[in-house]
Amino acid sequence: MSDNFGYQQPSVTRGSTAVDAGLKAHMQSVYNRMTAGVLITAITAWLVSSSPVLLKLFMGGPQAYIVMLAPIAILWFGFRPDRMAPSQLKLAFGALAVVYGISFSVIFKVFTGASIAQAFFMASALFAGLSIFGYVTKKNLDGLGTFAVMGVMGIFILSLGTLVAGMFGVNTSMMQTIISGLGLLAFSGLTAWQTQSTKEMYHPSHGDDANSRMAWAAALNLYVSFIAMFQYILHFVGNRN
């Protein structure tokens, strides 16, 4: 089996109890990068929401749609682990985290701080549990991953349709609730599968450069899953100001 970086993947025994120091360091680097991205997003969101000037600059007009769609552009065109050096991936990941933070600034205006904190800790607990499951399970989660990816694609299409309907004055609250429930399930499955895939793709023979690029890709995948789960949980538990 070959990975997305052009390296032949060595055979791996699923659920192996052998503890590899290199693998542990690799997984730690993935979660450190993912955590840094979440912190950048949170700090950016708080800073922008605390400044009426910045909030109006980024979210006070049609430019808000550019801000909201910018992460998709970065994901599709500005983050290429198969071609970009680790330093370039680091910059792209940081830019993505900042843009997400700008778009999330409205959350601090719409929802109470207590409900945001509650959603964050619930998302963190769920994410940690799913990651642990994905890391230790002996079950092949490829089927779950395929199903989850298909679910995310469907949710993306539904979300676009809901956004367009809302622009024309259609009440989309029920659809948003359905999307949030389905999205939470889909990204939960993705988190477990992505953790297992990250574990199995690592091998010291790939070299530091390739493993670092894979770590950035894994950090991005897990970051997006965490951010999505936080948003969907906030939809259910968030209290508005």
Backbone angles phi, psi at 56, to 5 degrees: -70, -35
pLDDT level of residue 111 (50, 70, 90 thresholds): very high
Distance CA 3, CA 5 (A): 5
CA distance linking residue 181 with residue 172, whole number of Å: 14
Burial 144-174, CB ≥16 within 10 A → b, else e: bbebbeebbeebeebeeebeeeeeeeeebee
Q: Quick one: tokens of 140?
A: 């092949």
What is the distance between the alpha carbons of residues 231 and 241, in angstroms, rounded to a whole number? 17
Give tens-digit pLDDT for 215-234.
999 999 999 999 999 999 99
Question: Which pTM was predicted?
Answer: 0.86
The amino acid that residue 205 corresponds to is: S
Tens of pLDDT along 152-203?
Answer: 999 989 988 988 888 788 888 899 999 999 999 999 999 999 999 999 999 8
In the structure encoding, which two tokens stand for residue 199, read together? 């574990």
Report the distance separating Cα 117 and Cα 241, nearest Å.
Answer: 14
Asked if 189 contacts 133 with a C-beta cutoff of 8 angstroms, the reply is no
Residue carrying structure tokens 């730690």: 28
Residue found by looking up tokens 């989850």 in the block: 148
Write the pLDDT tens digit of every residue in 56-82.
Answer: 888 887 777 788 778 878 878 888 888
Dihedral, CA atoms, 32, 37, 40, 46, nearest 10 degrees? -120
8 SS3 class: strand
